[in-house]
């Protein structure tokens, strides 16, 4: 059974405290960071060990490309998604093809080392945000939708579920919600007509969403990830979205409006999130775990959709995943080198 908390570990191997935590029913997932990565072989050994302890565990990573890429040593270094947007202005067909190949390549390499999914793609606008920038595909929805759609098709072709982020849009908010409160003063109509369109137009392809830690002040007083208005009324009722909802990291500064880690995860789950992320603070993760220990487990059918098609293969220090992988890897690396 999959619990409602996703946490992290400190090292490249599990310690005894990690093992005890993973055996706790409400721990449903682990997210890996750069500090957990030495080589493809080491990552596969780590994820195999996790599954020996908890076969139902979901294992995730942020492998967007560009400046947000945790798996580096022994993996393909992917371009930022904004590079496909630049190419789309002059060669739209080639840009879409490359985006699909990049999604497939990313997912193939991540699945090979035993990780179920990457929290990707970013569906935000590249507007004024200090934290989004070229993590977004483009500056307008007309370009984002075909590129992000192609990237997600590539992920699905490889056997990986996708997660669109950060609903209803973080790109038009300057503050970085990791380190500051993020507030958007626009009207619902303006957000709906602009930032939300990528989520709306791609919702049939989306397996999961991650709400933003942004307060849309003239609409609701709570950050979207703690808001029953955004999650229940807009996503579930109006848009009929039935995919998984992951909170963004509940240790981020913009999430502190809800209180401590215990109050934050309870607020996220009460609003309608299926799983809450508590990263890089073990004390906070334990506090959150204690807060939800007596709650019912989340919707299992939804969370099972995030299970990746993990291949039963031996992994070496360097990846070697066959002819198609080598061919696509070469194409993406050549594109990146041309930038």
- Cα gap 167→214, rounded to integer Å: 9
The H-or-E segment that residue 201 falls in is helix 197-201
- Cα gap 126→124, rounded to integer Å: 6
Annotated active-site residue 49? The verdict is no
Phi-psi region of 211 (alpha: psi -120 to 50; beta: other; left: phi over 0): beta
Annotated active-site residue 178? The verdict is yes
| Contacts of 230-236 spanning 24+ positions with Cβ under 8 A | 230/167, 230/168, 230/271, 231/271, 231/272, 231/273, 232/271, 232/272, 234/168, 235/167, 235/209, 235/272, 236/272
Which residue in 248, 249, 262, 274 is the catalytic one? 248
The token duo for 99 is: 């985006």
Kindly write down the DSSP assignment for every residue of 74-138, as one continuous string.
TS--PPPTHHHHHHHTT-HHHHHHHHHHHHHHHHHHHHHTT--EE---B-S-SSS-SS-GGGSS-
Which residue in 130, 176, 178, 192 is the catalytic one? 178
- Cα gap 86→338, rounded to integer Å: 13
For residues 209 and 230, is the Cβ–Cβ distance under 8 A?
no
Query: Which positions are catalytic?
Result: 178, 248
């Amino acid at each position: 059974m999959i619990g409602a908390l996703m946490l992290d570990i400190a090292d490249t191997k599990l310690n005894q405290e990690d093992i005890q935590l993973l055996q706790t029913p409400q721990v449903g997932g682990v997210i890996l960071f750069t500090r957990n990565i030495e080589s493809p072989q080491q990552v596969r050994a780590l994820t195999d060990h996790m599954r020996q302890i908890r076969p139902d565990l979901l294992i995730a990573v942020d492998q967007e490309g560009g400046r947000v890429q945790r798996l580096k040593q022994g993996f393909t270094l992917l371009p930022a998604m904004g590079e496909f947007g630049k190419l789309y202005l002059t060669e739209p067909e080639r840009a879409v093809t490359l985006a699909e190949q990049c999604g497939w390549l990313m997912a193939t390499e991540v699945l090979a080392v035993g990780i179920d999914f990457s929290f990707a793609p970013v569906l935000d606008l590249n507007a004024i945000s200090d934290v989004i920038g070229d993590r977004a595909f483009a500056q307008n929805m007309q370009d984002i939708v075909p590129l992000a759609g192609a990237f997600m098709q590539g992920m699905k072709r490889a056997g990986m579920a996708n997660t669109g982020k950060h609903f209803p849009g973080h790109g038009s908010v300057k503050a970085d919600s990791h380190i500051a409160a993020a507030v958007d003063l626009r009207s619902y109509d303006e957000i709906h007509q602009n930032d939300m369109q990528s989520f709306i137009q791609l919702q049939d392809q989306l397996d999961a969403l991650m709400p933003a830690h942004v307060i849309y002040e003239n609409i609701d007083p709570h950050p979207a990830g703690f808001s029953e208005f955004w999650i229940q009324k807009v996503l579930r009722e109006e848009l009929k979205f039935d995919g998984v909802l992951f909170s963004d990291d509940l240790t981020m500064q913009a999430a502190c409006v809800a209180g401590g880690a215990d109050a934050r995860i309870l607020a996220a789950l009460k609003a309608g999130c299926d799983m809450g992320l508590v990263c890089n603070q073990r004390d906070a993760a334990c506090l959150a775990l204690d807060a939800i220990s007596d709650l019912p487990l989340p919707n299992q059918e939804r969370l099972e959709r995030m299970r990746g098609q993990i291949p039963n293969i031996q992994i070496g220090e360097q990846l070697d995943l066959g002819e198609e992988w080598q061919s696509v890897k070469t194409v993406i690396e050549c594109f990146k080198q041309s930038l």
